[in-house]
């Protein structure tokens, strides 16, 4: 499975380590190589008090779009600072744990338990109650705006 699905909880230890859920570790590995290290890019969300986790290839594709902005423009400078300055590459240890940088832990108000929330191509790490509130808000917003995917079959 190459998509991040579901919501999982794990414990954040005093050293800032947390175990990435097994299905998410599988999706973070490049291709079918089960021996490849689990690597990712962590960054603070632009919109929410959570941490975004990007597979390296997806982050590189996102970063490639920066070439469409004029190199020394204000837009390029702002996006580069927002995208790269607070991004952290991480690699899981043999137990599947990653270390969350203190800046990101603070941004997401994390302590104790954390929630991993699948977002398809990426996932987010939330304080559990804030994550549950965000999921409820998203469901309500989708229903009120009658959101549907292009070409989706109506139920």
Residue 132: CATH number of its domain: 3.40.1550.20
Percent of residues, the chain, with pLDDT higher than 90 = 59
Domain count, the chain: 1
CB atoms within 10 A of CB 39: 16
For residue 115, being part of any structural domain is answered with yes
For residue 1, being part of any structural domain is answered with no
For residue 150, being part of any structural domain is answered with no
d(CA 60, CA 131) in angstroms, rounded, equals: 26
For residue 79, being part of any structural domain is answered with yes
Yes or no: say if 8 and 127 are a contact pair by the CB < 8 Å rule: no
For residue 153, being part of any structural domain is answered with no
Sign of torsion over alpha carbons 95, 122, 58, 23: positive
For residue 81, being part of any structural domain is answered with yes
Domain hosting residue 62, numbered range: 7-144
Q: Is 31 left (phi over 0), alpha (psi -120 to 50) or beta?
A: left
Percent of residues, the chain, with pLDDT higher than 70 = 92
83-121 tens-digit pLDDT: 899 999 999 998 899 999 999 999 999 999 999 999 999
For residue 67, being part of any structural domain is answered with yes
For residue 139, being part of any structural domain is answered with yes
């Amino acid at each position: 499975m190459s998509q991040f699905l579901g919501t999982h909880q794990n414990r954040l230890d005093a050293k800032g380590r947390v175990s990435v859920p097994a299905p998410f570790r599988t999706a973070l590995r490049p291709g079918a190589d089960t021996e490849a290290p689990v690597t990712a890019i962590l960054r603070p969300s632009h919109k929410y008090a959570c941490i975004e986790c990007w597979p390296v290839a997806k982050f590189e594709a996102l970063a490639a779009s920066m070439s469409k902005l004029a190199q020394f423009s204000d837009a390029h400078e702002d996006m580069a600072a927002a995208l790269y300055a607070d991004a952290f590459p991480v690699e899981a240890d043999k137990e599947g744990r990653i270390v969350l940088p203190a800046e990101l832990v603070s941004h997401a108000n994390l302590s104790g338990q954390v929630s991993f929330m699948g977002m398809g191509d990426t996932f987010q790490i939330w304080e559990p109650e804030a994550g549950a509130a965000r999921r409820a808000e998203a469901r309500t917003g989708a229903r009120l705006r009658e959101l549907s995917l292009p070409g989706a079959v109506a139920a």
